[in-house]
Amino acid sequence: MCQKMIQQFLKEAVMNRQSILGTFAVAVLFSVVFTSCKKEEHQYHTVIDKIEAESQNYQGTSISSDQYLSEINLIEITEGDHTFLIPERKSQIKSFECNECHSKPIEELKGEGHGQKAHWDLTLIHANKSTMNCATCHDGSNMDELKSLTGVKIDFNNSYNLCSQCHSKELDDWKGGAHGKRMESWAPPRASLTCVDCHNPHDPSFDSRWPSRFNTQTEEERK
């Protein structure tokens, strides 16, 4: 359509060859046509608009991840617009159920320890020590449940609700699939690793890793 318009203008230009005004008009029209052609290329305002428009005709896929997921113990969760599967945790936690030992207050348990620490293999390296301790997340009166900062019970299987209190940005990214990792395959149903599958809640930070690259200096020294 742009091409047709341009041809039209060229025709007009030839007819008005004599007129300076005509040439000027052609120049103006050309620039108008040029910018309007450009607009057609960029008919989407954002990438999201483009994805949404162009996926209108998507009919889904006939393949499924079911065969890869059948061996894994998963639970279904719904967070906002997103419903997906995450691995069940309680059966993976070595010292669950906690209340097998935590049937009485911690102070009493501490007296029975004969100097040995029950959770000796566990050091808390998370937020500042003055703001976070075991009781920030664990419920001393019922160890089998986690608890929120306001004292609401959180199931060990849904511990992402615990993390999300302080890391809401990562939770949003995770819900949408931008933080964390899909399990097994991209095909539905969606199963994603949960926070504690990757982060140890007691020491969640990862060391930064730099991409390895060819080091000319070391190579020089080897010679």
Q: What's the token pair of residue 58?
A: 């998507």
CB 125 → ligand HEC: shortest distance, Å? 9
Q: What's the min distance (Å) between Cβ of 102 and ligand HEC?
A: 6
Task: Give the span between the Cα atoms of 204 and 70, in whole angstroms.
Answer: 29
Closest approach, Cβ 64 to ligand HEC, in A, equals: 22
Cα–chain center distance at 195: 10
Q: Rounded CA gap, 51 and 193, in Å?
A: 25
Please tell me whether residue 113 binds ligand HEC under the rule CB under 6 A: yes
Site for ligand HEC in 115-144 (CB under 6 A): 117-119, 122, 124, 126-127, 132-134, 136-138, 143
Residues between 162 and 191 that touch ligand HEC (CB under 6 A):
162-163, 165-167, 170-171, 174, 179-181
Q: How far apart are CA 166 and CA 196, in angstroms?
A: 15
Helix (H, G, I), strand (E, B) or coil at 6: helix
Range 194-223, binding ligand HEC (CB under 6 A): 194-199, 201-202, 204-206, 208
Tell me whether the omega of the peptide bond preceding residue 211 falls within 30 degrees of 0, making it cis. no
Query: Among 149, 175, 182, which Cα is nearest to 160's?
Result: 175
Which of 65, 156, 183, 191 binds ligand HEC (CB under 6 A)? It is: 156
Return the DSSP state at 190: P
| Residue 160 interacts with ligand HEC (CB under 6 A): yes or no | yes
Report residue 81 as tokens: 């617009």
Interacting residue ranges for ligand HEC, rule: CB under 6 A: 89, 93-96, 98, 100-102, 106, 109-110, 113, 117-119, 122, 124, 126-127, 132-134, 136-138, 143, 146, 149, 156, 159-160, 162-163, 165-167, 170-171, 174, 179-181, 193-199, 201-202, 204-206, 208
